[in-house]
């Protein structure tokens, strides 16, 4: 099956790019934390819940926002049934480490614990944009491009979804790497046969 890319982008600790345009770049000497804060402000995300989210969710929400805001009215209306299929290598390690540390101190924070599952980023994206579609979160050392492609194709072939947000969202400590695309079944000359191109920037953040 071939796919049509409706929107795509990537986000790492030095730049945010969507649909071929650089939306933000970290200035010289700017820490990842400061860069993220700036991106949140510059993109006017204006979402009170953002500050409670863990790093993985913040990255997923920023990049998915950058893609969704560029959709046409029709495409935005179809968001309700969009599938969200994400993948990473570290699962929720960023929050796991924090939770483990607080457990060892004899304290555990519910606000940290609820983020110790990688699929919460899927949930946060669905909540923000009122998406009720299919969900899936896969964990693998490197982007599971073929499986993601096969699965997205099957969602379209069975009618379970017409659009799919698919990609990689990985984050740990102060490093993150995210690549997302919103795709649909494609039959034009611009259609792609593989999702590899979407993941060319995607990296695992452990030991990187």
Which residues are at the interface with another protein (CB under 8 A)?
A: 48, 51-52, 84, 89, 91, 93, 96-97, 99-100, 103-104, 106-111, 113-114, 116-120, 122-124, 126-127, 129-141, 144, 146-147, 150-151, 153-155, 157-160, 206-207
Closer CB to another protein, 14 or 108, in the complex: 108
In angstroms, the first-to-last Cα distance of the chain is 34
Closer CB to another protein, 17 or 161, in the complex: 161
CB of 10 to another protein, least distance (A): 22
| Residue 5 phi, psi (nearest 5) | -90, 120
| Residue 92 phi, psi (nearest 5) | -115, 35
The radius of gyration of the chain's CA atoms, rounded to the nearest angstrom, is: 17
Count of CB atoms within 10 A of residue 23's CB? Answer: 17
Closer CB to another protein, 20 or 159, in the complex: 159
CB of 95 to another protein, least distance (A): 10
CB of 22 to another protein, least distance (A): 26
Give the residue among 196, 141, 198 at the shortest CA–CA distance from 165: 198
């Amino acid at each position: 099956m071939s796919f049509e890319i409706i929107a795509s982008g990537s986000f790492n600790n030095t730049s945010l790019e969507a649909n071929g345009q650089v939306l933000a770049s970290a200035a010289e000497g700017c820490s990842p934390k400061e860069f993220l804060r700036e991106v949140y402000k510059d993109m006017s995300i204006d979402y009170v819940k953002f500050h409670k989210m863990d790093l993985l969710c913040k990255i997923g929400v920023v990049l998915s926002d950058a893609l969704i805001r560029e959709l046409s009215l029709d495409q935005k209306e179809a968001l309700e049934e969009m599938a969200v299929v994400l993948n990473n290598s570290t699962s929720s390690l960023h929050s796991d480490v924090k939770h483990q540390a607080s457990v060892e101190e004899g304290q555990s924070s519910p606000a940290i614990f609820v983020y110790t599952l990688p699929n919460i980023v899927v949930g946060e994206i669905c909540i923000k944009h009122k998406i009720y579609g299919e969900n899936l979160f896969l964990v693998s050392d490197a982007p599971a491009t073929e499986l993601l492609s096969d699965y997205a194709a099957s969602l379209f072939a069975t009618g379970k979804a017409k659009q799919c947000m698919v990609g990689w969202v990985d984050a740990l400590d102060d490093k993150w790497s995210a690549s997302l695309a919103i795709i649909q079944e494609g039959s034009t000359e611009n259609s792609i046969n593989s999702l590899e191109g979407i993941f060319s920037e995607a990296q695992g953040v452990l030991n990187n």
